Homo-oligomer: A and B are copies of this chain.
Amino acid sequence: MVKYIGTRDLQAYLATHPLPQVIGGMLAYLHHDYLRWREFDKTARVASHSAQGVIELMPISDGRLYCFKYVNGHPANTAQGLLTVTAFGVLADVASGYPRLLSELTLTTALRTAATSVLAARQMARSDSRVMAVIGNGAQSEFQILAFHHQMGIEVVRLYDTDPAATARLMRNLRACSGLQLIPCASAAEAVRGADIVTTLTADKRRACIISPAMLEAGMHLNAVGGDCPGKTELHADVLKAARVVVEFAPQSRIEGEVQQMPADFPVTELWQVLAGHAPGRSSAAEVTVFDSVGFALEDFAALRYLDEQVDARFTRQLDLIPAMDDPKDLYGLAVPATLWKEQANA
């Protein structure tokens, strides 16, 4: 049997385990796994492109556990009431090849992405950061805001979205969060003004310029989450030139991240190097820093490990995805029980 965590199970878990605590828990798993960077077999993700979008498989292994995530990206889905991005994943034992956990990852990806953003910002943003701008108030925005509020001490969030209804939904969803001031703004430039941290979460599948060089202020940290596939960027190239740029996995980020705009030798630092102390996340209070985040398989690995270890049996089910057998060589006996041998073999 394979352990299963579906949407309902995760909802039930989150009803008794507050979101900031769960994000904090995942953050610890992420930190632990990023420090083991060299132990991972980092395979490229396998993409199947179509006119409507992309379906990807993202496998990774540390030699003891293996996981993959299935994730799609279909920008036109929302017009049909469907999610742009859905995901699920499997954690398996390398020694036997048997899957041990199948889990929803649509919600979980939002949690692990917020946790990853904080993991980078703890090393890269100024420690006295209190004001964050959030450009793009879609599906991921509340998770980012709660994570930065609880883990980084952000008290004021300046909001902008081309769709005012998105900002209104965000403010409604988070209105009960005490100690957090939410300020809707009329433009990205207005939202960014005075911010210590700028989080970009836009979804347009094109080269956009959400942040221009004129909007930068000394000491700003940019948490660039929205640009995550070829042809989809959010930052002006000159913003990258002016900043210290940290990525997750350089070979992938040079194809999918903001740095796809830059030459192949544009200097980037990998997040694990910063976390391990091999490179600084920030060199001065005035430096501009960019975390060019695209999402990496190691983050799903850490999230699945968290779910496998932290979500107790009350919130999981057992699924007969893989047969349990008395005699593993008798697959036929599994397909056709002895009582049916005669009629099934002769039909």
- A19 proximal to B (CB < 8 A): yes
Interface residues in A78-96 by Cβ distance below 8 A to B read 78, 80-84, 86, 88, 90, 92, 94-96
In angstroms, how far is the closest chain B Cβ from the Cβ of A307? 14
Which one, B88, B110, B177, contacts A345 given CB within 8 A?
Answer: B177
CA distance A216 to B328 in the complex (A): 32
Cα–Cα distance between A110 and B175 once the two chains are bound (Å): 55
Interface segment among A54-62, A204-212, A263-271, A283-291: the answer is A54-62
A residues sitting closer than 8 Å to B (CB atoms) are 4, 6-11, 14-15, 18-21, 41, 43, 46, 48, 50, 52-55, 57, 59, 61, 63, 66, 68, 70, 72-74, 77-78, 80-84, 86, 88, 90, 92, 94-99, 102, 104, 106-107, 110-111, 138-143, 146, 166, 169-170, 173-179, 319-323, 325-337, 340-347
20 A-B residue contacts at CB 8 Å? A6-B320, A7-B323, A15-B344, A18-B343, A43-B46, A50-B61, A50-B63, A50-B94, A52-B94, A72-B97, A72-B98, A74-B95, A83-B323, A86-B98, A107-B334, A142-B332, A169-B330, A170-B332, A173-B336, A178-B346
A10-B335, A173-B330 given; name 6 further pairs at CB < 8 Å. Answer: A50-B95, A74-B96, A81-B326, A83-B331, A104-B323, A143-B332
